Amino acid sequence: MKTFIVMDLEWNQSSAGKEAAVEHLPFEIFEIGAVKLNEKMEKVSEFHRLIRPCVYRRIHYIISEVTHVTAAELARNGRPFAEVIREFIDWCGDDYTFCTWGGMDLTELQRNMAYHGIKSPFPQPLLFYDVQKLYSLLYSDGKTRESLDHAVGFFSLRSDAPFHRALEDADYTGKILARLDFERIADYVSVDYYRTPRTRAEEFTLEFPSYSKFVSRAFASRDEALSDRRVTEMICYKCHRTLRKKIRWFSYGQRYHLCLANCPEHGPVKGKIRIKKTERGEVFAVRTEKLIGNEEAEQISGKKDEAKRRNAERNKKQPRRTE
């Protein structure tokens, strides 16, 4: 039976600041809460465990303020991470989709698993529903991210259950999910970037009603990624034609690259590439394509002029020798 696993994790961090953090484990999970929903979004089961910390044994003061958990409680009632994870994965079953509030939980879960030498049983790519994003798509602009507290208030779900404990937050998230018009947003899966494609064959494209997203394999550098043809090609996600670019890729600010292509059948398509870091310190590219109107197409050419102007100003300040 197909189910939704709505999960929430609580984690601790180094009390002695970032410098004292253990490599590859900035956050140590100490609590897992999850509810299992059936296809009608009815709760059919719950999972809750405390985990005994083995890296950061002192609770960071902010974490203890937010969660009210104590080191003594975790030492007394917490169980080893590996045991808890095995039980959790068994409890999840076979045919499920993870749902979380925000996009961080699955990354931290896999990071903690890797630290403990537990092989990931999750599919690649790991798709999930970010309920915070779905809520925004239906009730806001799709970009704003509201707190769980806000959404709980919006649907008048507040009960005596405290916030910021894993099972209660998972339960609230499940109740919010059940109240969303799921048909309207079912296509909007998120992809977890903890494990990214290693080979060309593992690269993938996700198609959504109003845009597409391509995720590349890892490259040694940004320049290498941006000179790869699969990264920079533009393909219309409606008709799968390879498109000609009207404005070639240009960097816009530090964060991304833009281009403008044209589909003879569907009109102007905006391309955007973001370069992100992999867990191993390499880079990978996420390219999104979106059909846009003529007005937005004009804006891209405006952005290109703006980027050119800014570059020229930067070069004036730091004169470069001409080749």
Which residues form the interface with Zn ion (CB under 5 A)? 236, 238-239, 263, 265-266
CB of residue 237 to Zn ion, shortest distance in Å: 8
Task: Give how far Cα 234 sits from Cα of 34, 97, 136, 182, 242, Å.
Answer: 40, 30, 28, 30, 6
The residue (of 265 and 323) whose beta carbon lies closer to Zn ion is 265
Residue pointed to by tokens 């939704």:
4
The residue (of 151 and 263) whose beta carbon lies closer to Zn ion is 263
The residue (of 263 and 283) whose beta carbon lies closer to Zn ion is 263
Alpha-carbon gap, residue 187 to 150, rounded angstroms? 24
By three-state DSSP, how is residue 44 classified? strand
Q: Which residues contact 128 (CB under 8 A, 6 or more apart)?
A: 97, 98, 99, 100, 106, 189, 190, 191, 192
CB of residue 164 to Zn ion, shortest distance in Å: 46
The residue (of 84 and 263) whose beta carbon lies closer to Zn ion is 263
Identify how many contiguous H helices and E strands the chain contains and give both numbers.
11, 12
Q: Which residues contact 144 (CB under 8 A, 6 or more apart)?
A: 136
CB of residue 205 to Zn ion, shortest distance in Å: 14
By three-state DSSP, how is residue 140 classified? coil
Residue least distant from Zn ion (Cβ): 236
CB of 66 closer than 8 Å to CB of 46: no
